[in-house]
Amino acid sequence: MFDKLEDLLRRYEDITRELNEPGVASDQNRFRALMKEQSDLTPIVECYLKYKKNKETVDDSLMMLDEENDEDMRQMLKEELNEAKKQIEALEEELKILLLPKDPNDDRNVIVEIRAGVGGDEAALFAADMFRAYSKYAEAHNWRVEVMDSEEIGIGGIKSISFMVNGNGAYSRLKFESGVHRVQRVPATESGGRIHTSTITVAIMPEVDDVEVEIDMNDCKFDVFRASGNGGQCVNTTDSAVRLTHIPTGIVISCQDEKSQIKNKAKALKVLRAKLYDLEREKQHSSEAALRKSQVGTGDRSEKIRTYNYHQGRVTDHRINLTLYKIDQILDGDFDEVIDALAAASQAEMLAQQNMNE
């Protein structure tokens, strides 16, 4: 581990020197790549430098203890030594986590799909609640939400909605949300006060570049139609909405949020790339059963991941047996405590797997 850390420290120093060279900013692609690499290395380097400083403190304290006769000074040196040893132990654990393989998609924007499942209108109402919750979560992290397509029902529910979350690290946080979300509550339309159980599915897909997923336009069929639902004059009076059918996979994507047919077509292709990339990842995961078992949240949309029980005011994540009695805050966009726990559990599983392999 420490050989690798020394290599990373040298690389960080090389990048810093190169960034300080005159003229490096003239090549914007190179400059951005160096800045990104430096940013990725900074947490590891800072932690490692703290580790090295504490190691020096231990060595210095031990040497001075051998030479020091004054009891008060020896006591002070022992306290300094013990504190440095504690710091070293904590920093070693932190370094192990920082050196874990990073998900290459973590820094990407995400495309989110929410679909009402079992429960009819109540499921659609909960889908709308979850869209609002994710929108507020995105807002709290200074991410931008861009609706791509939605199918609403008359009572304020959403049968399905696709939207993009634009922001650094969006995928690293939202990737744990893929799966079946279950709600248990008394519907507003229920006169008898009986608790109903409904479900929605959430799919989280990283945005991918054109070069990463090539699409043969001969495999695509485009239909245009007049947008429906809420919108401005141009949206509802021109054939601006686009329906894209990918013939080999049967994937159908509709986009109608933009006034321009060209923009809606571009959005539909963006969603298709994400879906094709997601399909390929699913195939890889399916062929690596051991890997799937070692991950918190495999992205399997048939997996029931969380229950929102209104009567008890609780939210339970079934993957890590976490229960929080703060349903109002969570549905107001406060997902961080849940996501932090899932990220920590995922890291712990990766560390355990790494220790088994060593």
Digits of tens for pLDDT over the chain (358 positions)?
A: 788 888 889 998 999 998 888 888 888 888 888 888 888 899 899 999 999 999 999 988 888 888 777 888 888 888 899 999 999 999 988 888 888 878 888 888 999 999 999 888 899 999 999 999 999 999 999 999 999 888 888 888 999 999 999 998 899 999 999 999 999 998 876 666 788 899 999 999 998 876 678 888 888 898 888 766 554 444 444 577 888 999 998 999 888 877 788 888 888 888 888 988 888 877 766 655 444 444 455 445 567 999 999 999 999 999 999 999 999 999 999 999 999 999 989 888 888 777 666 5
Residue in 113, 330, 303 with CA at minimum distance from that of residue 204: 113
C-alpha span between 214 and 217 (Å, rounded): 9
Helix, strand, coil % over all residues of the chain, rounded to 5: 50, 20, 30
CB 178 within 8 A of CB 185: no
Question: What torsion do the CA atoms of 82, 86, 89, 90 make, to the nearest 10 degrees?
Answer: -160
Show Cβ contacts of residue 291 under 8 Å, excluding neighbours closer than 6 positions. 285
SS3 assignment, position 125: helix
Please give the helix or strand (H or E) that residue 2 lies within, else none.
helix 2-19
**Residue 62 is which amino acid?**
L
Domain boundaries, the chain: 2-98, 110-348
Fill in the DSSP letter of residue 342: H
Angle at 243 between CA 181 and CA 237, to 5 degrees: 110
How do 196-206 and 179-185 pair as beta strands? antiparallel
Residue with tokens 């020197």, as numbered in its chain: 17
Matching residue, tokens 């996501």: 339
Q: What angle do CA 133, 136, 138 make, to 5 degrees?
A: 110
Question: Strands, DSSP E only, in the chain?
Answer: 110-116, 144-152, 158-166, 179-185, 196-206, 220-225, 241-246, 251-255, 304-309, 314-317, 322-324
Burial 116-126 (b: 16+ CB within 10 A, else e): bbebebbbbbb
Residue 284 phi/psi, 5-degree rounding, is -65, -45
Give the relative orientation of helices 28-67 and 2-19 as an angle to the nearest 10 degrees.
Answer: 130
DSSP state of 102: P
Tokens representing residue 40 in the block: 């990725």
Q: What is the CATH number of domain 2-98?
A: 1.20.58
Regarding beta strands 241-246 and 220-225, do their DSSP bridges make them parallel or antiparallel, or are they unpaired? Answer: antiparallel
- Cβ atoms of residues 299 and 282 within 8 Å: yes
CATH of 110-348, one of 3.30.420.250, 3.40.190.10, 3.30.70.1660, 2.40.30.30: 3.30.70.1660
